[in-house]
Structure 1
């Protein structure tokens, strides 16, 4: 979470150096992970600094870079990830190699320890400035479930679904960091038994467990980013909860798509895992049963393992309600980026695009309450009561892990949000 109770950040260099020695390669946030974030300390709340998570500590990346005489100290001393992300893949790889060396090699241990802070003693912030936000609809299981819920007498998938990655443009200004309260949205909704729409707080507030991809290197207007350009432009990965007001969405989305039902809040992790850290989790996507147009065809060697074996867990008030597998996603992040730019739309540093709800084939793998309760008709039985959709005071937490090198596991930073009552309610 980002909102942590202030704790003492004092420590001895000897203790931190000892912790570096004890760091296990199997830790979720060990040396094969090293995600980036933005933090401040209680004694300097207005000074935001780039950090690299290592176990239960945060490395002050800018201070460490100065201490080690890094050629990349300038981009690591900025109050946002954007300058580092804009620097391009060669710099990303160099900085990652440097920081791993600082944290793991004996010769650097004492110096690195001087710039480690306890994670419990810092406040985490939105790690990058969001330029644009796009959300996709890439899970065949999720799209099929939604179709069966709302169109039980028609084909579950729309005719275009297996020909292109469907998406919508969201609102960048309401992307918030984990721990930010989510105020219940208000808007128009039209219950089936009412002749006219009503105005008020959403009664069908939902979650969507997703994975977000953060663009680093920009592209020119009019240019296309092909499948082979994905790793040159995407900096890293984050967990994402695309909060959804299903009743507002149902009334407004015809014919142009989601608007107020989606734009009030999108929560992301305070940690961005570098794309390079996920190489051991690359897998082939599910088999496609329709031919793809050339710009989306990822069957060629070098493109075929475009999926990611990420294992998500969704908790509601601390209770596990779903474990969606990202490896089942029909459309990959590379295909989404290719489709996003095929018309010449440019990329900007800080663009964020999300996978859409992650759902697997089993009921316990559905990534939204809409599916878990089948449109509210089959409430979840939880220790603290039944749920169809979210109630005020509910806390939703997303976590995930994936395979790492040599049998290790890597963690993605969690995303947590508490539902607050509608303003004036």
Structure 2
């Protein structure tokens, strides 16, 4: 595994001739995330974010600017072929892109293939064959479990098994696509029977998304020592939840209509190569917790498997936007609040021989900090709706109302390196139909 090794593309002194990339919050030249975009009136194609611009990789391939493996993948309208590339080919592409965007001598050949991001539409980056959501945020699991089982918030399997469930891939959408409030069954506490209607306890969930790269054959597990080789990148994921539907339907089989109506992702795929400087040691488990079983245990994963990423959630009501008010930050906390690493969830997913495929998406589950300022959902922030949040507009919230817009942001940071971001993961709530 070499997923933590840095090279010249991470040099903090490296600068791009693309002016907006210098000091950019999300997309300096040290990032170079991949995505799918379309200029106004044109068809979708693959691009790279650099500052406030997007470099058209399909056009670069036609101009002979890319290596052979990347040129062959660049003609598609999805990243699936890119995600399936071996690590060596991905690194070669990153090195060439970095050189092209830093070297003034190449500017005249590259600049015609740039588009202003603000005039383009961003799409889902891949054709998502399958989506699996995990539950690795231990503080979230404790907080939610405590509301239902005060004396036993975590079930016995949690510290042995990376808990997950198979979600719905067809309802995943890119940032900016509105969410329609779902309608379904819920059982009010005072009622004798369930009712059908719009969710009254609509919530967001702050998660990271993990894109699968090279897959595995059916029946062939992925060893923990090789799991990083099967990860193609990362994004932000808001796995919206109808808490009232979930409380009624989740026993005995778990989430269903409470979760599958819409999930929002940030459209740029931050590559494992870009994340190399931001790998950190997995936080030690609390004293008395069991060690991971052998198939989930690896020295390199313990020393480099966690991510030095800060996660944030912002809320903007319709009233706030009308008044020109800035979004209100609800929470901020580190992604290291994960009980299992992304490599462990990939290994566990394939441990029974399940075949993962390029373009599959895994969610970490809600990531919360141990303190209220880092809680990753309204269910936690409002103690199940008992403690409303006050907004700067004078409004209060227990759960989301129509017109509310939720934005997730993430920044990877490490001493001695330029910070990079994931772009925003944003959607507004529309009334139920």
TM-score, length of structure 2 as denominator length? 0.90
Q: Of the candidates 343, 346, 356, which is equivalent to residue 347 of structure 1?
A: 356
User: SS of the residue aligned with 1:324?
Assistant: strand
Q: Tell whether the 8 Å contact from 1:132 to 1:352 is kept in structure 2 after alignment.
A: yes
User: SS of the residue aligned with 1:349?
Assistant: coil
User: SS of the residue aligned with 2:273?
Assistant: helix
Q: Of the candidates 18, 21, 28, which is equivalent to residue 26 of structure 2?
A: 28
Q: Tell whether the 8 Å contact from 1:29 to 1:54 is kept in structure 2 after alignment.
A: yes
Quote how far apart the aligned CAs of 1:394 are: 0.4
Structure 1 residues 263 and 22, CA, compared in 2 at 3 Å: closer, same or farther?
closer
Distance in 2, matches of 1:148 and 1:164, equals 19
**Corresponding residue for 1:81?**
79
RMSD: 1.6
Distance in 1, matches of 2:295 and 2:418, equals 34
Structure 1 residues 42 and 222, CA, compared in 2 at 3 Å: closer, same or farther?
same
Distance in 2, matches of 1:58 and 1:232, equals 27
Counterpart mapping for 1:145-294 below 5 A: 145-152=143-150, 154-288=151-285, 289-294=289-294
Check if 1:51 corresponds to 2:50. no
1:23-73 C-alpha deviation (Å, 9 max, x unpaired): 4267531111001111111132xx111010000000001111222443231
Q: Tell whether the 8 Å contact from 1:26 to 1:408 is kept in structure 2 after alignment.
A: no
Quote how far apart the aligned CAs of 1:19 are: 4.9
Quote how far apart the aligned CAs of 1:21 are: 5.8
Distance in 2, matches of 1:219 and 1:248, equals 35
Distance in 2, matches of 1:364 and 1:27, equals 22
Structure 1 residues 26 and 199, CA, compared in 2 at 3 Å: closer, same or farther?
closer
**Corresponding residue for 1:118?**
116
User: SS of the residue aligned with 1:148?
Assistant: helix
Quote how far apart the aligned CAs of 1:309 are: 1.2
Quote how far apart the aligned CAs of 1:197 are: 0.8
Distance in 1, matches of 2:301 and 2:257, equals 40
1:89-112 C-alpha deviation (Å, 9 max, x unpaired): 222112111111111122212111
Structure 1 residues 352 and 24, CA, compared in 2 at 3 Å: closer, same or farther?
same
Structure 1 residues 370 and 21, CA, compared in 2 at 3 Å: closer, same or farther?
closer
Quote how far apart the aligned CAs of 1:324 are: 2.6
User: SS of the residue aligned with 1:407?
Assistant: coil
Q: Tell whether the 8 Å contact from 2:382 to 2:388 is kept in structure 1 after alignment.
A: yes
Range with greater deviation from structure 2 (104-113 or 240-249):
104-113
Q: Of the candidates 36, 49, 56, which is equivalent to residue 38 of structure 1?
A: 36
1:189-228 C-alpha deviation (Å, 9 max, x unpaired): 1111111111111110000000000011111000111212
Structure 1 residues 18 and 373, CA, compared in 2 at 3 Å: closer, same or farther?
closer
Range with greater deviation from structure 2 (363-372 or 21-30):
21-30
**Corresponding residue for 1:9?**
none
**Corresponding residue for 1:380?**
389
Q: Tell whether the 8 Å contact from 2:236 to 2:266 is kept in structure 1 after alignment.
A: yes
Which consecutive unaligned segments of at least 5 residues does structure 1 have? Answer: 1-16
1:101-138 C-alpha deviation (Å, 9 max, x unpaired): 11112221211111111111111111111110000110
Distance in 1, matches of 2:416 and 2:16, equals 24
User: SS of the residue aligned with 2:423?
Assistant: strand
Check if 1:411 corresponds to 2:407. no
Aligned length in residues = 403
Distance in 2, matches of 1:218 and 1:269, equals 22
Range with greater deviation from structure 2 (188-197 or 88-97):
88-97
**Corresponding residue for 1:308?**
307
**Corresponding residue for 1:338?**
347
Check if 1:400 corresponds to 2:402. no
Q: Tell whether the 8 Å contact from 2:308 to 2:414 is kept in structure 1 after alignment.
A: no
**Corresponding residue for 1:361?**
370
Counterpart mapping for 1:86-97 below 5 A: 86-97=84-95
Structure 1 residues 405 and 107, CA, compared in 2 at 3 Å: closer, same or farther?
farther
User: SS of the residue aligned with 2:424?
Assistant: strand
Q: Tell whether the 8 Å contact from 2:375 to 2:381 is kept in structure 1 after alignment.
A: yes
Distance in 2, matches of 1:256 and 1:284, equals 35
**Corresponding residue for 2:57?**
61
Distance in 2, matches of 1:214 and 1:275, equals 10
Distance in 1, matches of 2:159 and 2:44, equals 44
Q: Tell whether the 8 Å contact from 1:204 to 1:389 is kept in structure 2 after alignment.
A: yes
**Corresponding residue for 2:320?**
none
Distance in 2, matches of 1:32 and 1:394, equals 34
User: SS of the residue aligned with 1:248?
Assistant: helix
